[in-house]
Every structure is written in C-alpha cells, then in structure tokens.
Structure 1
Amino acid sequence: MRNKRTETLLNILYNTSWFLVLAGALFKLQHWPYGTSLLWFGFIFGSIISSIQNMQLKKRIRELEAKIPPIDDKDIF
C-alpha cells in the first residue's frame, strides 16, 4: 500500500496547483500582472502531479493483478 505521507504530500501539491490556476484566473479577470504565468504554472504543475499519481495507480493495479490466480477456460464453461 502507498505510504500515507506520500499520499498526503501529493494531495497537498495537487491542491496547490489548483490554487495557482484559480489565482491565475482571478488575476486575468482583474487584469492584474502575472495572471497568465500563474495559470501556466498551475496547469503544468497539476499535470505533473496527475502523471505521478497515475504511475502509482498503475503500479498498484499490477501488484493486485499478480495476486489473482489465472482462470482456465474450463472454469468459465
């Protein structure tokens, strides 16, 4: 199972990326400087965190599939 600290850290980083996106959108709406930069950093940061979580999920799925015994065709019919 995944480490609880790693899971918590990834959730904090993911929430930080969404905060950057929302702050960037607010900056763009108010015509304040650096709105575009905040949006880009938030989207890129969120994409990186999502890819890391996706790789961890695929690893966990492979681990669980290895535990399942193979099914013969005779068992199906």
Structure 2
Amino acid sequence: MTGKDIVDKEGQPIHEGDTVWTPIRGGKHEGTVEKIVTTEAEAKKEGVKHPPKVLFTDQHGHHVSHNPGTLRHEDMEGK
C-alpha cells in the first residue's frame, strides 16, 4: 500500500507518520497518521467505510478516521 495519491486539503501528499489535523465541532482532531486505508478489503479489516481514509489517534486518545481531503498538515511555522 502506498499513499502516493492521497493528498490533504491543500494538495500535499499524506504519508504514515505525518502530523495532520482537521477542524471539528469548534475544536480539532490532531494526530500522527498511523495508516492510510485505500481498498475496500483494508477498510473492512479496519472497520471503516468508503476508502480512502486516513487513520490516526487524536490528542484525546480516540481512534479516528477521516477523508484525506478534509485534513491539513500541522503548520510547522512558529514552532
């Protein structure tokens, strides 16, 4: 499996190990990409639907999956 065609909201490639985030309900989900699911078989195994999905554990310890196009890479400027 490769994430070469999986890109974030700004068109940047997403890879396992990247730090990504998405705004949600007045806050955000942020975490390090653990897996990128690209096939129906992988999706079924991981318990998600409608691949591709990016799987990560958010800052609260919840396992989450998001569509790649809703995610952004963590802004490293100012850190």
TM value normalised by structure 2: 0.23
TM-score, length of structure 1 as denominator length:
0.23
Greater fraction of residues in strand = 2
Larger of the two Rg values belongs to structure: 1
- Determine which structure has greater relative contact order: mean sequence separation of CA pairs < 8 Å that are 6+ residues apart, divided by chain length: 2
